[in-house]
Amino acid sequence: MAFEGLSSKLQEAFKKLKGKGKLTEKDVKDAMREVKLALLEADVNYKVVKDFINTVSERSVGQEVMESLTPAQHVIKIVNEELVTLMGKTESKLNVSSMPPTIIMFVGLQGAGKTTMTGKLALYLKKHNKKPLLVAADVYRPAAIKQLQVLGNQIDVPVFSLGDKVSPVDIAKAGVENAKKIGADYVIIDTAGRLHIDEQLMDELKNIKEAINPNDIMLVVDAMTGQDAVNVAEQFNASLDITGVILTKLDGDTRGGAALSIRAVTGKPIKFAGVGEKLSDLEVFHPDRMASRILG
């Protein structure tokens, strides 16, 4: 289960507060030290942790009296609220174009789960009575086009491809035109991933972005990679000004670092989460539900 270690450590920290009727400044300070360690062990970005602890400490020490809550409950409430804020407060929706089709460009490193996620999002849209089109613009990985076609078949969503001899920019442009022709209201473009970020990859993605002017540039990152995912997000954001992040593999034993740091570090919202290998394993990312899951 995701966040397991973090959850149990936070609960441990709060347990000590619960036995006390009144909290002294030292009680709060001790608890915050434990919360801090728990977050750092969960691989949350150091600066994010520092700011978080400062905010929670300030609010907890100067806490207004609430008759319905014990002091410990009040601290937990503040931690919950600040976790929600850290992850973006409310859910963040897709940017929908006023003139269809809405163009969604998927970017990310190889293995992050990008191609699978294009299928998941297409299925999600279909369930919401939309008509998506998948576009295969990864011409480098030999099996990528085929993989997308198999996914499309499984969910009965059309896949646009021009093979692997045409440039990704031209495929993306033709894909958008094709969406208009067949009356698709969403175009989801799967672009190439690499094992590492390199200039050539970024240049190609920039060219695609310029050519099709997407409504959303969605970065797919693997939550299991913790702060690496955050670094990847920072770099993609610096080059492409992404509009959203999708965290995959949140079903695994991810420690939580990516989910808790990405929004604060990049300023970009997490819009969806992948929670399994099946195409239906997609969740809208709700910061409040995620915080409840973390606090257990």
Residues contributing to the site for ligand GDP (CB under 6 A):
108, 110-116, 193, 248-249, 251-252, 274-277, 281
CB of 258 to ligand GDP, least distance (A): 13
Whole-angstrom distance, CA of residue 13 vs CA of residue 30: 9
CB of 110 to ligand GDP, least distance (A): 4
Residue among 225 and 243 whose Cβ is closer to ligand GDP: 225
Token pair listed for 197: 């970020």
CB of 239 to ligand GDP, least distance (A): 18
3-state secondary structure of 136: strand
Task: Work out the angle at residue 142's Cα, subtended by the Cα atoms of residues 137 and 148, and round it to the nearest 5 degrees.
Answer: 50
CB of 74 to ligand GDP, least distance (A): 36
Residue among 57 and 248 whose Cβ is closer to ligand GDP: 248
On whether the CB atoms of residues 3 and 292 are closer than 8 A, the answer is no
CB of 1 to ligand GDP, least distance (A): 12
Residue among 27 and 281 whose Cβ is closer to ligand GDP: 281
CB of 191 to ligand GDP, least distance (A): 10
CB of 253 to ligand GDP, least distance (A): 10
Whole-angstrom distance, CA of residue 272 vs CA of residue 280: 12
Whole-angstrom distance, CA of residue 186 vs CA of residue 230: 28
Burial class for 17, CB neighbours closer than 10 Å (0-12, 13-18, 19+): buried
Whole-angstrom distance, CA of residue 151 vs CA of residue 167: 22
CB of 95 to ligand GDP, least distance (A): 22
For 136, phi and psi rounded to 5 degrees? Answer: -90, 95
DSSP 25-68: HHHHHHHHHHHHHHHHHTT--HHHHHHHHHHHHHHHHTPPP-TT
Residue among 79 and 273 whose Cβ is closer to ligand GDP: 273
Residue among 77 and 293 whose Cβ is closer to ligand GDP: 293
Residue among 72 and 117 whose Cβ is closer to ligand GDP: 117
Residue among 241 and 277 whose Cβ is closer to ligand GDP: 277
Residue among 100 and 276 whose Cβ is closer to ligand GDP: 276
For 231, phi and psi rounded to 5 degrees? Answer: -65, -40
Token pair listed for 110: 């190889």
Token pair listed for 164: 């692997």
Token pair listed for 215: 């409504």
Question: Residue 250: which of 290, 209, 200 has the closest Cα?
Answer: 290
Return the residue nearest ligand GDP (CB atom): 274
